[in-house]
Amino acid sequence: MIYFDNSATTAIAPLALDAYMKTSQRIIGNPSSLHDLGTQANRLLQQARKQIADLLSVDAGEIYFTSGGTEGDNWVLKGTALDKKEFGRHIIISSIEHPAVSETAAQLAENGFEVSVAPVGKDGLVDVMKLKELIRKDTILVSVMAVNNEVGAIQPIEAISAVLADYPKIHFHVDAVQAIGKVPQEKWLTSRVDFATFSAHKFHGPRGVGFIFWRKGRRIAPLLTGGGQENNQRSGTENVAGIVATAKALRLTLEKKAERPDHVATLRKYLFEALAKYEKVTIFSGEKEYAPHILCFGIKDIRGEVLVHALEEKQIYVSTTSACSSRKHVASSTLHAMNVPSNLATTAIRVSLDENNTMAEVEQFLIIFHQLYQKFSKIN
């Protein structure tokens, strides 16, 4: 089996799974309980929080645990809207955001907020000057993802940060789900970024766990109220075992990245250059300003899902752009925003690599791809 769908989800790291199992078995207390068992659970919870904070070079008090990227995005957008509605009701997002952002913004628009959409160019990068033109006196939030999940375009967060330096009251949120462990942190967690969203299962942690970076001094309203957990900001009994495993997975991911900084980029470059030689292949991901783990391409006149299933028959697993929309047979919203013609957008598939993938797997993929390409060419 060759697994090239790591942007959809990653396999939990064995050491992270071990941490999850041991914590589940040994730590039975509720972190909010006053007795010793509760104290043990709370101690582990706070240790994991500090470990994650140290890995990101932020303060432990700036890490809040969630159930994943979708909750994190919802929390920042809705929490900002609730907290700052007296000061303004205008929100800016980009045209290539994950549905967790774009659909949340649409929901806010149905409830009296105004949403402006910053366009991207043919390269999939947000037009910073056009985004700047959208800023108004009543703008309360700008939300732009760090790395696009469909084509891998690394967004100009540093340039947007420079623009927003002149607007200190506007919240700046970055969906960093596809960036952590893949793209240097300085590119997406600048001193101007107020909130960033993360999901554990994108870096070999467990599913159903995530966290947000929340810069001190900023305010958002709670999305979940009740028991007062997470400093009274995110109620619900904490998933201690999942959080401990998340801290372990993040450390392992960043260590691997440090040991082999160019490994994934080398695989992608080899794959890119090989696919570019095919006459009927369109590569939608660029070479520069693109994340090292995502490559989006298609074969002319062959629908993406057809190629996905043909590869699956050979035990090679990829997806049609975003996994969140692939089962709905929805054409890539990112490619649409990049003005890619519909007949080409529907051919798109996404290969997403990981540190655990090998050059041998890439070469095997290319052998199978060549066979399928010839087969489809004969049919056409």
Nearest C-alpha neighbor of 95 from the set 117, 74, 114, 77: 117
DSSP string, 320-357: SS-HHHHTTTPPPHHHHHTT--HHHHTTEEEEE--TT-
Look at the block and give the residue holding tokens 């100009």.
Answer: 156
Residue 251, number of CB atoms within 10 A of its CB: 18
Burial 313-343 (b: 16+ CB within 10 A, else e): ebebbbbbbbbbbbeeeebbbbbebbebeee
Cα separation, 6 vs 293, in Å, equals 8
Annotation marks residue 296 as catalytic: no
Cα separation, 118 vs 120, in Å, equals 7
Cα separation, 347 vs 331, in Å, equals 9
Query: Which residue out of 324, 330, 344, 366 is catalytically annotated?
Result: 324
Measured between alpha carbons, how far is residue 229 from residues 33, 51, 198, 220, 224 in Å? Answer: 11, 19, 19, 15, 10
DSSP string, 216-247: TT-----SS-SS-HHHHTS-S---HHHHHHHH
Q: In this structure, is the dihedral angle defined by the CA atoms of residues 102, 104, 110 and 112, taken in order, positive or negative?
A: negative
Measured between alpha carbons, how far is residue 121 from residues 28, 100, 127, 184, 327 in Å? Answer: 52, 22, 7, 23, 27
Active site residues: 324
